[in-house]
């Protein structure tokens, strides 16, 4: 794939894998309202993935559409960040993942609306409206859990501690990002970090929580070095197309 096709692929993979993860809560969330909320966020993410992966396939020019890229790639061909593939854990861990990622994604899409690629700009303009809701949902729950009972607070702290090590990868730039940025298509992700930090710190202050301690960042998702969790996720997500190649209905 060209760098620009890979850039679109990464955006699509992030949304696809997070959508699949959140969809696992359907019918299992702690309350009906939460069940519906997480399902809606999952649908938003899968919708974004459909557009980004479709664009990646068109830029690649080898006849693969969004469905082919989603269901017919092996685990090492996926380019999502490690954060989104992490297991749901308990509800607080899921909220911690959504909290960290949705704030990043909203900032990313806000910047991506200025892309010289009309399709990327249009996708971002639609998606940023959805992501604003994801930010509000996740932030509200961080405050409710962090400033709630002793148990909810402990679980929120544990969830943030687990997810924090994967945050640095969101802002890491490589040759693909540099090429997209130079072409006026992509975003300087490193430049988003200060605004993200300010957002995260403000919510944590409202939740009476401390920022997790810095630790060695865990990287590699963008170049196909994933945790074992992604393979298990893809086993379920890709089962139908692997069992019945080309199946349609």
Please report, for the chain, the start and end positions of each structural domain, with discontinuous segments joined by +. Answer: 3-243
What H or E segment, with its residue span, contains residue 186?
none
Per-residue model confidence as pLDDT tens for the chain (249 residues): 899 999 999 999 999 999 999 999 988 877 878 888 999 999 999 999 999 999 999 999 999 999 999 999 999 999 999 999 999 999 999 999 999 999 999 999 999 999 999 999 999 999 999 999 999 999 999 999 999 999 999 999 999 999 999 999 999 999 999 999 999 999 999 999 999 999 999 999 999 999 999 889 999 999 999 999 999 999 999 999 888 887 777
CA of 184: how far to CAs of 8, 36, 115, in Å?
A: 14, 38, 6
149 Cα distance to chain centroid: 29
Show the tokens assigned to 243: 């069992």
Q: Domain 3-243 belongs to what topology?
A: Ferritin (1.20.1260)
* pLDDT score at 214: 87
CA distance linking residue 82 with residue 226, whole number of Å:
7
Q: Report CA torsion sign: 132, 4, 221, 196.
A: negative
* pLDDT score at 152: 97
* pLDDT score at 242: 85
Are 233 and 86 spatial neighbours (Cβ–Cβ below 8 Å)?
no
Helix spans in the chain (H) = 3-23, 32-60, 66-71, 82-85, 91-112, 118-146, 150-164, 175-182, 193-206, 228-237, 239-243
């Amino acid at each position: 794939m060209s760098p620009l096709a890979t850039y679109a692929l990464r955006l699509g993979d992030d949304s696809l894998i997070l959508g699949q993860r959140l969809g696992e809560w359907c019918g299992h969330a702690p309350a009906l309202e939460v069940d519906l909320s997480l399902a809606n966020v999952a649908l938003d993410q899968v919708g974004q993935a459909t557009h980004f992966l479709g664009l990646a396939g068109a830029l690649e020019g080898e006849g693969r559409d969004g469905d082919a890229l989603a269901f017919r790639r092996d685990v090492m061909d996926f380019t999502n960040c490690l954060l989104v593939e992490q297991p749901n854990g308990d509800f607080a861990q899921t909220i911690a993942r959504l909290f960290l990622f949705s704030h990043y994604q909203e900032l990313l899409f806000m910047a991506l609306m200025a892309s010289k690629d009309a399709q990327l700009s249009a996708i971002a303009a639609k998606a940023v409206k959805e992501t604003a809701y994801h930010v509000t949902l996740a932030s509200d729950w961080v405050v409710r859990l962090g400033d709630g009972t002793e148990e909810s607070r402990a679980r929120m702290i544990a969830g943030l501690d687990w997810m924090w090590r994967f945050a640095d990868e969101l802002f890491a730039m490589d040759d693909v990002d540099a090429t997209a940025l130079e072409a006026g298509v992509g975003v300087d992700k490193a430049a988003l970090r200060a605004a993200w930090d300010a957002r995260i710190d403000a919510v944590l202050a409202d939740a009476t929580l401390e920022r997790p301690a810095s630790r060695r960042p865990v990287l590699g998702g963008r170049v196909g070095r994933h945790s074992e969790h992604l393979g298990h996720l893809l086993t379920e997500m890709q089962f139908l197309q692997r069992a019945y190649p080309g199946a349609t209905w």
